[in-house]
């Protein structure tokens, strides 16, 4: 009798896990369907890199001053 109860409990737990995984997959599919991949991205204009110029003309030579 214990074997039948143990088998029934194991099968019930497997069924619950299958149901949980199914619900999570359905939720994930809904999120993917709601996301719009084909939207046009906004244009970022004026992205310029600012160049830093050394003040005294010694770029990278900090220890050479006399």
Q: How far apart are CA 32 and CA 22, in angstroms?
A: 15
State pTM to two decimals: 0.48
Q: How far apart are CA 14 and CA 21, in angstroms?
A: 11
Per-residue pLDDT of the chain (66 residues; tens, 9 = 90+): 999 999 999 999 999 999 999 999 999 988 888 877 666 666 776 556 666 666 665 555 555 555
Q: Any idea where the domains of the chain sit in the sequence?
A: 1-34
């Amino acid at each position: 009798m214990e074997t039948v109860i143990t088998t029934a409990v194991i099968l019930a737990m497997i069924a619950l896990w299958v149901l949980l995984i199914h619900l999570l997959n359905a939720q994930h599919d809904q999120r993917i369907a709601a996301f719009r991949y084909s939207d046009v991205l906004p244009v970022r204009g004026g992205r310029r890199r600012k160049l830093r110029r050394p003040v005294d003309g010694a770029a990278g030579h900090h220890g050479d001053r006399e």
